[in-house]
Structure 1
Amino acid sequence: MIPALVTLAGSPWAVLPTGLHPASLREIEARFAINVSRRAQFEGLIAALRSLRAAGCVRAFLDGSFVSAKPAPGDFDACWDPAGVDLAQLDPVLLTFDNQRAAQKAKFKGEFFPSSVPADQVGTTFIEFFQVDRFTGAPKGLLLIDLTVDSML
């Protein structure tokens, strides 16, 4: 179950509470794919997760304003566990990071990163980086999607 969003002083919209919150794609759809632009982003998420699953990925983490109270997020952010993933089987767009991930945004309406890769100059991994609110520096949560059992994939 996706928990209620929490307000962080200084953040423009409510976010997920601290922690990794298991969620099915049906739960994510019901909670966050609530308008035309969010629906398009959700469809892109599904397409990318199908590619990740086909390449052997077992879990992904969803972040960004898509999983917040922001009325019209521009995209979503996600990272995926690279353990056991056959990169040769993965859609190459998911490994294209140039031009501010323009190819990923065009194809999937969001951005994807391997969870264990550094997100900044000090070596913070994406799984850690995504658990910090960018406006306040306060901890926040992520949605954890188990790709091995989700019925929408």
Structure 2
Amino acid sequence: MLPNFQPLSGAPWQILPPGEHIATLQEIEQRLAFNSHRLNLFNGLVSAASLLAQSGCKYLYLDGSYVTEKDMPGDFDACWSIEQVDFSLVDPIFLDLSNGTTAQKARFGGELFPNRTERASGKLFKDFFKNEKHTNQQKGIIVIDLQTEFSLPNQGV
């Protein structure tokens, strides 16, 4: 269950309290898809999550203004765990960032990065996501267990 949003001095919207909050896609839809725009973003997220799960990806970490009370977020931000992923099964859209994330945004409505080091901060993306960008204070992110959500058998063992 997702905790309640909380105010953070200097942040434009209420946010999740610090930490990694495990949630199901159903919980995310009930809590965050509260208008048609957010529902469209959620549907794109589910589409991307399903593709990543098929490659053996275990976790998706959700962030951005989508994980706030902002009525009309521009997109969602996410990163995905790379451990146990069969990269031969990963849709190329998740690996080709040669034109930024334009193709991802067009297809899914958001950005999805492998959980590797974010260049500017030197932190893994999931840790980079835990800083509120207006205040640089700690905030929460959502963790989705993709293998549980999509009930896929273990790949290739």
- Residue aligning to 1:142: 141
Q: Is the 8 A contact 1:21 1:142 kept in 2?
A: yes
Counterparts of residues 95-114 of structure 1 (less than 5 Å): 95-114=95-114
Runs of 4 or more consecutive aligned structure 1 residues displaced over 2 Å after TM superposition: none
Provide the TM-score with structure 1 as the length reference: 0.94
Q: Is the 8 A contact 1:96 1:104 kept in 2?
A: no
Q: Deviations over 1:39-65 (max 9, x none)?
A: 111011001001110000011111011
- Kindly tell me the number of residue pairs found equivalent between the two proteins: 152
> Per-residue deviation at 1:86?
1.1
- Residue aligning to 2:119: 120
Q: Deviations over 1:69-90 (max 9, x none)?
A: 1110010000111001111111
Q: Is the 8 A contact 2:53 2:150 kept in 1?
A: no
> Per-residue deviation at 1:144?
0.7
Q: Distance in 2 between matches of 1:75 and 1:52?
A: 18
Q: Indicate the percent of aligned positions where both proteins have the same amino acid.
A: 43
Distance 1:120 1:19, change over 3 A: same
Counterparts of residues 71-110 of structure 1 (less than 5 Å): 71-110=71-110
Q: Distance in 2 between matches of 1:72 and 1:150?
A: 26
> Per-residue deviation at 1:95?
1.3
Counterparts of residues 35-50 of structure 1 (less than 5 Å): 35-50=35-50
The one-letter code matched in structure 2 to 1:78 is A
The one-letter code matched in structure 2 to 1:119 is E
Q: Deviations over 1:3-41 (max 9, x none)?
A: 001111111001111000010000000001111111111
Q: Deviations over 1:70-117 (max 9, x none)?
A: 1100100001110011111111111122333000000010001111x1
| Structure 1 portions without partners, runs of 5+ | none
Give the secondary-structure state (helix, strand or coil) at the position aligned to 2:148: coil
Q: Distance in 2 between matches of 1:36 and 1:121?
A: 34
Give the secondary-structure state (helix, strand or coil) at the position aligned to 1:149: helix
Q: Is the 8 A contact 1:56 1:86 kept in 2?
A: yes
> Per-residue deviation at 1:121?
3.1
Q: Is the 8 A contact 1:25 1:152 kept in 2?
A: no
Q: Is the 8 A contact 1:18 1:141 kept in 2?
A: yes
Counterparts of residues 31-70 of structure 1 (less than 5 Å): 31-70=31-70
